[in-house]
């Protein structure tokens, strides 16, 4: 998945990628509710898949990865037309600007959060939280009772804050020999009683 398939970067960028404790650049600030009302969610369109893939790469890069790492991730971060039939892709818009996207695949009672990316200029605006809530709602509506998230190490704290629990590690699909935090979210539990790590 992707906020996901990455090893820990060799260095963190000094602006957006730096985080202290369990905070992360994905976390909305306390005033994010003032921004989220302007966000509109809609299904992805086939003709915008190249631009959405480019957004995924820009968002991934905020963690400070070098060019070689980003090239290795390119295939996994690229959306292709067939995925619009086999998965569910949602786009967040702020006015006429694409602010982020999320991709979910449901198989029987299991859901995989394959992608959740936010335009770097709109990180900490609440877009990530809105997309995550859409992903969980869509997964539930399709009969899923749990969601699996293979997270980028820098994004794991965000998913924990959204109620997911650490459940071991998964192999990166892009970087041989690397492992990623694997998280689980129980979708059949009310949000109010799900554990919120670090909150």
| pLDDT classification of 172: cutoffs 50, 70, 90 | confident
Determine phi and psi for 189, rounding to 5 degrees: -105, 140
CA dist list (Å): 29 to 43, 49, 125, 184: 26, 29, 7, 24
For 157-185, what is the mean pLDDT? 91
For residue 192, how many C-alpha atoms fall within 13 Å in the half-sphere facing its CB?
A: 0
The C-alpha atoms of residue 70 and residue 192 are separated, in whole angstroms, by 37
> pLDDT tens digits for 78-91?
999 999 999 999 99
pLDDT score for 177: 80
> pLDDT tens digits for 63-120?
999 999 999 999 999 999 999 999 999 999 998 899 999 999 999 999 999 999 999 9
pLDDT of 33 higher than 80: no
* SS3 (DSSP) at 139: helix
Strands laid side by side in the 165-171 sheet: 39-43, 88-94, 97-107, 110-118, 146-150, 179-186, 165-171
């Amino acid at each position: 998945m992707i906020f996901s398939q990455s090893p820990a970067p060799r260095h963190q960028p000094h602006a957006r990628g730096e985080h202290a404790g369990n905070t992360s650049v994905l976390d909305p600030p306390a005033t994010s509710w003032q921004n989220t009302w302007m966000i509109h969610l809609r299904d992805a369109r086939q003709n915008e898949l190249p631009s959405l893939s480019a957004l995924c790469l820009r968002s991934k890069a905020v963690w400070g990865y070098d060019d070689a790492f980003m090239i290795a991730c390119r295939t996994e971060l690229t959306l292709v037309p067939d995925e619009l039939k086999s998965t569910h892709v949602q786009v967040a818009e702020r006015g006429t600007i694409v602010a982020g996207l999320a991709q979910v695949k449901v198989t029987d009672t299991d859901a995989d959060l394959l992608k959740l990316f936010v335009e770097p200029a709109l990180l900490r605006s609440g877009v990530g939280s809105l997309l995550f809530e859409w992903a969980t709602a869509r997964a539930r509506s399709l009969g899923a009772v749990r969601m699996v998230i293979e997270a980028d190490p820098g994004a794991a704290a965000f998913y924990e804050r959204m109620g997911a629990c650490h459940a071991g590690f998964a192999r990166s699909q892009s970087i041989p020999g690397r492992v990623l935090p694997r998280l689980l979210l129980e979708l059949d539990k009310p949000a109010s009683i799900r554990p919120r790590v670090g909150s």
